[in-house]
């Protein structure tokens, strides 16, 4: 009975390791907003994940607050969803430790993101970078999440989280809900690619290939006009042979809600000189209200503080219930 009445739960988070990008918006936040009415949603600013690579403390603090303002500006609503900062809820670190004792070294060694990041930061491959997916599993499992809305690049981490949960449940009887990744369709932004190199995903570490939610219109337009395409002239989706144009089509569709067929038809017979600025315009219009609202919210620090404080209290209560259960199962003496 209780289960029938309980809304399914959703958990997701983004690292404040750079400004929010169009990739994160299309791959994740757009779905977060859409899921708020139907599900019980918990959304986090994962600052503890961000310190797995070196951060400037003042920048990290500023970006975490800006990220909250941008979450709200995108349409996340603290009346509907729990919005909080990971380091404010110590249960994440506590469950992370326990789950680390149920995760294999070999499993973590196979994580693509670890392999990539340890190449990028070859002089600082920390234990935290290695165990990062365990903390991510703790984030999700603490809230007994059914769905995890993320971009395609996070699928492997959610799969590992499921494996850890299944293993723990197998040893101690049902403890955790097994979560499922919730990923947009490819043509709706599951994997937005870099504008400068469409074979790499759009990421904060590649400023020219990356559009930030807070970029002003002229910067967005410049980035799209410079976007790498190919030597043909036709605007057509062909991921293998035309990765740049296909990426721009995807962005256009995700920004306007049009289908690929509609977009191809709209640009039939037109060259890239028309197509690229049109994609830029669509993104400018998509982001304009978000940028303006986030700038307004940043002036109201008291409101932002009250949102993250209240969010941490609500999150902490849910998280503690799971943690108590886990402590009992593994055999810790009750406090």
Residues that bind ligand TYM (CB under 6 A): 11-15, 23-24, 26-28, 46, 49, 136, 139-140, 148, 150-151, 153-154, 157, 189, 191-192, 201-203
When the beta carbons of 117 and 242 are compared against ligand TYM, the nearer one is: 117
When the beta carbons of 260 and 266 are compared against ligand TYM, the nearer one is: 260
List the catalytic residue out of 8, 80, 204, 325: 204
When the beta carbons of 27 and 243 are compared against ligand TYM, the nearer one is: 27
Token representation of residue 276: 């690229």
Tell me the backbone φ, ψ of residue 147, rounded to 5 degrees: -130, 145
CB of 82 to ligand TYM, least distance (A): 14
Residues 293, 287: Cα–Cα separation, whole Å: 10
Known catalytic residue at 258: no
Task: Judge whether 152 and 190 are in contact, CB under 8 Å.
Answer: yes
Beta-bridge partners for 12: 43
CB of 316 to ligand TYM, least distance (A): 17
What is residue 63's three-state secondary structure? helix
Looking up tokens 């009887």, which residue turns up? Answer: 173
The set of residues, in sequence order, having a beta carbon less than 8 Å from that of 133 and lying 6+ positions away, is 103, 108, 111, 113, 114, 157, 160, 161
Q: Both ends of the chain: CA-CA distance in Å?
A: 31
When the beta carbons of 129 and 306 are compared against ligand TYM, the nearer one is: 129
CB of 21 to ligand TYM, least distance (A): 6
Burial class of 197 by CB neighbour count within 10 A (0 to 12, 13 to 18, 19+): middle
How many CA atoms lie less than 13 Å away from 246 in the CB half-sphere? 14
- Least Cα distance to 50 among 36, 41, 61 occurs for 61
Token representation of residue 59: 């920048």
What is residue 323's three-state secondary structure? helix
CB of 288 to ligand TYM, least distance (A): 21
List the catalytic residue out of 30, 201, 223, 276: 201
Residue with the CB atom nearest ligand TYM in the bound state? 27
Known catalytic residue at 201: yes
CB of 203 to ligand TYM, least distance (A): 6
Token representation of residue 242: 């035309």
When the beta carbons of 153 and 310 are compared against ligand TYM, the nearer one is: 153
The set of residues, in sequence order, having a beta carbon less than 8 Å from that of 91 and lying 6+ positions away, is 142, 316, 319, 320, 322, 323
When the beta carbons of 205 and 233 are compared against ligand TYM, the nearer one is: 205
List the catalytic residue out of 117, 223, 242, 276: 117
CB of 304 to ligand TYM, least distance (A): 20
Active-site residues: which are they? 117, 201, 204
């Amino acid at each position: 009975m209780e289960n029938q009445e309980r809304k399914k739960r959703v958990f997701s988070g983004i690292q404040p390791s750079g400004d929010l990008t169009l990739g994160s918006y299309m791959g994740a936040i757009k779905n977060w907003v859409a899921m708020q009415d139907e599900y019980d949603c918990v959304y986090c600013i994962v600052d503890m994940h961000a310190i797995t690579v070196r951060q400037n403390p003042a920048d990290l603090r500023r970006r975490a607050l800006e990220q909250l303002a941008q979450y709200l500006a995108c349409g996340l609503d603290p009346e509907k969803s729990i919005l909080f900062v990971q380091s404010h809820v110590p249960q994440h670190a506590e469950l992370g430790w326990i789950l680390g004792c149920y995760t294999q070294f070999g499993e973590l060694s196979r994580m693509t993101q670890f392999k990539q990041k340890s190449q990028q930061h070859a002089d600082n491959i920390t234990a935290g970078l290695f165990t990062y997916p365990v903390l991510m599993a703790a984030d999700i499992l603490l809230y007994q999440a059914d769905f995890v809305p993320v971009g395609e690049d996070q699928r492997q981490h959610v799969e590992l989280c499921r494996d850890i949960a299944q293993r723990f449940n197998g040893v101690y009887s049902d403890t955790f809900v097994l979560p499922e990744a919730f990923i947009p369709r490819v043509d709706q932004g599951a994997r937005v690619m870099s504008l400068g190199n469409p074979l790499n995903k759009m990421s904060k570490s590649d400023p020219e290939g990356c559009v930030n939610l807070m970029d002003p219109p002229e910067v967005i337009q410049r980035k799209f006009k410079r976007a790498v395409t190919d030597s043909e002239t036709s605007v057509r989706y062909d991921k293998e042979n035309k990765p740049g144009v296909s990426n721009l089509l995807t962005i256009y569709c995700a920004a306007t809600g049009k289908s690929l067929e509609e977009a191809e038809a709209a640009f039939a017979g037109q060259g890239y000189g028309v197509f690229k600025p049109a994609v830029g315009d669509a993104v400018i219009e998509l982001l304009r209200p978000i940028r303006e609202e986030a700038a307004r919210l940043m002036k109201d620090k008291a409101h932002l503080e009250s949102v993250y404080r209240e969010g941490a209290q609500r999150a902490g209560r849910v998280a503690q219930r799971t943690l108590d259960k886990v402590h009992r199962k593994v055999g810790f003496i009750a406090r």
